[in-house]
Amino acid sequence: MSIGSLSKFTVPIQGGATQGMLMPKLSYRFRVSFENFGASGATTELTKQVSEAARPKVTLENQKILVYNSTLNYAGRPTWGTISIKLRDDVSGNVSKLVGEQNQKQFDFFEQSSAAAAGDYKFTMRIEMLDGGNGTAGAVTLETWECYGCYIQETAWGDLKYSTQTPMEITLTIQPDSCVQVGKGAAIGVSGTKRNQNGGTMLSNGAT
């Protein structure tokens, strides 16, 4: 038997049907996967050792048109901000090895030589919000952010302290070229927006 009073826990809408509050996405139900990261091939250890991840942030640069007695504003090129990822540094060295390989792909620190083109080292990162399922049916993906053209802008290997007992972490600051947001079974966006092959809305730094 349903509890009728549950429908009262919401914001009353004038002229609209009252319904209960929607279940929010929970910040601790997520996973992050990587493609073309490092040189070893398998990146599942990275996914298992992620402890924190930020979702993408985009800024549309404000442009102005000066007219007779006023100013008009319009949105300029989008710029995607950096994304912070924290990884637990395991005793087997799997995570630190992959991170080292990716940094070495971007710049050979021994030979002091860089890659010929950015496409030689860029990788794809996927951030998924999950529903919490972990049984035979598996988890359901509620939202996916697909980040393309990524590279590591900064790597922080963490501090050593006798005074703490916390796990060592490696913090990556990742810069994407473009990001695609896909909701549960459908694209997030408005009709007429250009979409990618997976049905997501494509937003990029000037790229199409």
Look up residue 187 and give its DSSP letter: B
CATH number of the domain that residue 126 is part of: 2.30.110
5 in a domain, yes or no? no
- Distances 43 to 38, 79, 114, 134 between C-alpha atoms, Å: 8, 28, 23, 20
pLDDT (tens digit per residue) in 89-119: 999 999 999 999 999 999 999 888 998 899 9
Residues in the chain with pLDDT values less than 50:
190-208
- pLDDT at position 5: 75
140 in a domain, yes or no? yes
77 in a domain, yes or no? yes
- pLDDT at position 96: 95
162 in a domain, yes or no? yes
167 in a domain, yes or no? yes
- pLDDT at position 201: 47
- pLDDT at position 134: 86
Tally the domains of the chain. Answer: 1
pTM > 0.75: yes
The domain in which residue 171 lies consists of 23-58+73-175
How far apart are alpha carbons 105 and 192 in whole angstroms? 39
